[in-house]
Amino acid sequence: MRKAVPPHARRASTPRVHSAPAPRVQPRWRRRERGQAFAEYAMVTSLLLVGFLLFGRSALVALLQAYQVYMESFYFVLSLPVP
C-alpha cells in the first residue's frame, strides 16, 4: 500500500512553460490623461508667451534679473567654506 503524498509535495507531471504576458490595453480614461497633460502644458506655454508679448521688454528684464539674483546666490553658497 502506498503512502498518501501531501498536495504541496507532489511534482507536476508536465513541465510548466512560461509564455510572455499578454500586452496590457490601457483603459480609455488612462489614455485621456496624456492628452490632458499636453493641453495643460500648451495652455501654460501660451499664457507665458502672451504675457511676454503684452508686457513687452519689462517682463523679460524682470525675469532675467530674478534669474541673475538666483544664480548669484547659488554661486555664493557654493563658494562658502565647509565647516
pLDDT tens-digit series, residues 21-78: 777 776 666 655 667 888 999 999 999 888 878 877 777 788 889 999 999 999 999 8
In sequence order, which residues have a C-beta less than 8 Å from that of residue 52 and are 6 or more positions away?
Answer: 59, 60
What is the predicted pLDDT for the residue at 42?
93
d(CA 41, CA 9): 58
| Averaged pLDDT for residues 4-29 | 67
**Which of the four pLDDT bands, split at 50, 70 and 90, describes residue 13?**
low
